[in-house]
Amino acid sequence: MNRNHSQTQAQKKSPPTRPHTAAPTTTQLPEIEPSAAANQAKQFLSPDVPNILTLQRTMGNKAIQRLIAQRQSKAQRHWMPGEPEEVQAMPAIQRHWMPGEPEEVQTKRVQREASDDERQETPALQRVALSRGFGVPGHGQHRAMIRETVSQNLWGNAAAAPTIQTWKKGVIGGGEDTGTKTTEGWKKATPNAEPGDKSEFKLGEERTPAVFAGPITFSQVELPADGKSTVQGVTKWTPPTRAVKWGFVGNDYGSTVTDTGQVKVGDNTQGNESVKLQVKAEDAADGSAFTTGFMTLYEAKFFQAKLDFPKFAAGTYSHPNFTIGLNGKFDMDYQPAAHRADATIKVKFAFPDEDLSKMGLGQVVSTIISQIERQQKFISQIAAQWSGRYQFKNVREPQSIWGKLNPVDVKVNVIPVTSGQHFTVNLYSKTKGRANVGGGQVHMFAGSDVPKPAFNPGTAQGELTRVRRNTPTPILFANNSADVPGDAAAKLQFLGTYLSRIHNPKFEITLVGHASATGSKDHNKALSDRRAQNVTAILTGAGAGHHKMNASGVGQEGADASEQWRKVEITSDTPPGWQNMQDTTAHEFGHMIGLGDEYLGDDPTQTLATHHALVAKAFGKDYADQVAKRGDTDYASVMEGGDDVRIQHYVTFWSALAEATQKAALPDPKFGYDDWKFIG
């Protein structure tokens, strides 16, 4: 067993454990009178020093200090049978505990000791006192009192000794709700009091200090740092008719205070969201008699957000019958507390080529079952393709407040109704035709519900064309450098972002680093590797990591000494065997939420998809031009010829969310489109 008692800080913080099987109990302490408190303090002191208070009275503090020092040195080698090793490692006085002490109290003591650096520095006997019931919730003021009383008397802390008088009178007797304010609020010295002065220090004896003040109170303790808000500070002095001088302790953050204690807050929180302003009131005649109080100044935007957030978060923000695009119509309901935005499309189903009145009973039953199944398939196909694909986030500052809204999940609901529908969806079982959406009517024909594999095979090449035209290649580097030049980095960032938003197909991107034929081969091989890796890092950093990246360097292979060989070349391909798939149901649903076709259709003069402007608003024109222009190449977007619901396809949900929250009374200023961004 290790009996080396030298302590490291880590050992100090290790929670000591001990065998204890008694059921946890809660210790309830009664309200205590000053004399009772003193007695209780004695009672809770270690049995090792049962007469310490008596000793103090008879011997004085210096003698007690010597006694404690002796006991400490003995106690270093004292331990309790069966104690765990980590407890053994502590000085005995520190690890002392009382038999029968409830486990809860032990635990609290251990937690305090483990977490509170300040208390780690507190002499052991103090902690013994703390552990003995003064740590019970609701008795903080008593705990604080005992700590001070015992420690000052035992250790003879000259600097803090005068405080004792104040604590005795003000806290033990008064039983006031104190906390930290009390520490500041009752800090009046009694003149001529010295530690060890028996005539002055008699624990339990009540004395009336010359002057003392209660803590400063304010009608409002949290204020915006707007440079104009004012708040009145109030103090209670004994005797009451003192002249008071007001000021600040530490940084005033541009605040001022009048002779009557009216504080006008400053407007400079020095870049912090909040700062503590400590106001001080001191006796005009005796500067050693003072009291202080705190208020919190918040940076103005932060303060407003702090006020607005709980109210906003408690609400629901709806935009019923949100209409957008040629045919889009749905309800938007945003619940901040649930982190959820529901886009709900109410649908009345019809089955135009099935006339139940002309069927026999058996056929009616089977037809109705079939109708229910097809209806359910329509709903589930949409949910699978559209729901929860991307999220939104609120970017309003301060993010420490508004960031709590994030992320916002988007749930797409298709609800069958018999009236009040957004759309009538006509499901044909026999009739073949061309699915369409218009005038609140959706027509889905036989076979419309079956996704088509190998659809528009040119789509693979179309996708590649789009990627390649956004690929800056080759990337040229400076001599002996693997740092990607700034202009190329910006282009790579765009490519990476573009790729990040394509989930089908997943491309194979090959990045080959080169070096010019100057210097050693080994050096150039390593240099070309770094070049390829650095380019790859930009792409993956932009979110394109789900595509396959093959990065390698070939050094000076095949190169001459010219600068054109200091490069990375990028090529891309679709994975072998990749096929485009068309999903008509998902495509028509895009129209139902207000998206237009991304292929060139009936009007060749209309080269922009109807949602182009919204995509540009959300992602910028450069990106919109890549994904919402008609007459471009085939590609696998669900609104072109594929089944990939891409991030730009959430723009109408984004618009509905922005519009719904824009109507809300809060926050101030109101949310707008710029406050909502996409995740994904």
State the residues that interact with another protein by CB under 8 A. 326-327, 430-439, 443, 445, 447, 452, 454-458, 582, 584, 587-588, 591, 596-597, 599-605, 640-641
Give 388's contacts (C-beta < 8 A, 6+ positions apart).
409, 410, 411, 412
Nearest distance from C-beta of residue 640 to another protein, angstroms:
7
Positive or negative: CA dihedral 335, 341, 343, 346: negative
CB 554 within 8 Å of CB 514:
yes
- Of 460 and 549, the one with the shorter C-beta distance to another protein is 460
- The answer, yes or no, to whether the previous bond of 407 is cis (omega within 30 of 0) is yes
Cβ count within 10 A of residue 625:
14
Pairwise CA distance, residues 131 & 133, whole Å: 6
Q: Please, which residues bridge with residue 637 across strands?
A: 644
- Of 192 and 605, the one with the shorter C-beta distance to another protein is 605
Nearest distance from C-beta of residue 443 to another protein, angstroms:
7
CA angle 464, 392, 308 (to 5 degrees): 160
3-state secondary structure 511-522: EEECCCCCCCHH
- Of 6 and 432, the one with the shorter C-beta distance to another protein is 432
Nearest distance from C-beta of residue 450 to another protein, angstroms:
11
Pairwise CA distance, residues 236 & 217, whole Å: 9
- Of 274 and 424, the one with the shorter C-beta distance to another protein is 424
- Of 322 and 445, the one with the shorter C-beta distance to another protein is 445
- Of 109 and 587, the one with the shorter C-beta distance to another protein is 587
Nearest distance from C-beta of residue 301 to another protein, angstroms:
44
- Of 347 and 499, the one with the shorter C-beta distance to another protein is 347
Give CA separation, 268 vs 201, 265, 401, 476, 631, in Å. 46, 9, 20, 47, 55
Nearest distance from C-beta of residue 439 to another protein, angstroms:
6
Nearest distance from C-beta of residue 333 to another protein, angstroms:
25
Nearest distance from C-beta of residue 582 to another protein, angstroms:
6
CB 250 within 8 Å of CB 278:
yes
DSSP 487-549: HHHHHHHHHHHHHHT--SSPPEEEEEE---S-S-HHHHHHHHHHHHHHHHHHHHHTTGGGSEE
- Of 45 and 464, the one with the shorter C-beta distance to another protein is 464
DSSP tally for the chain: helices H, then strands E: 22, 23
CB 147 within 8 Å of CB 125:
no
If phi over 0 gives left and psi between -120 and 50 gives alpha, with beta otherwise, what is residue 7? Answer: beta
Q: Please, which residues bridge with residue 343 across strands?
A: 332, 412
CB 383 within 8 Å of CB 412:
yes
- Of 338 and 454, the one with the shorter C-beta distance to another protein is 454
- Of 28 and 605, the one with the shorter C-beta distance to another protein is 605
Nearest distance from C-beta of residue 296 to another protein, angstroms:
56
Nearest distance from C-beta of residue 591 to another protein, angstroms:
4
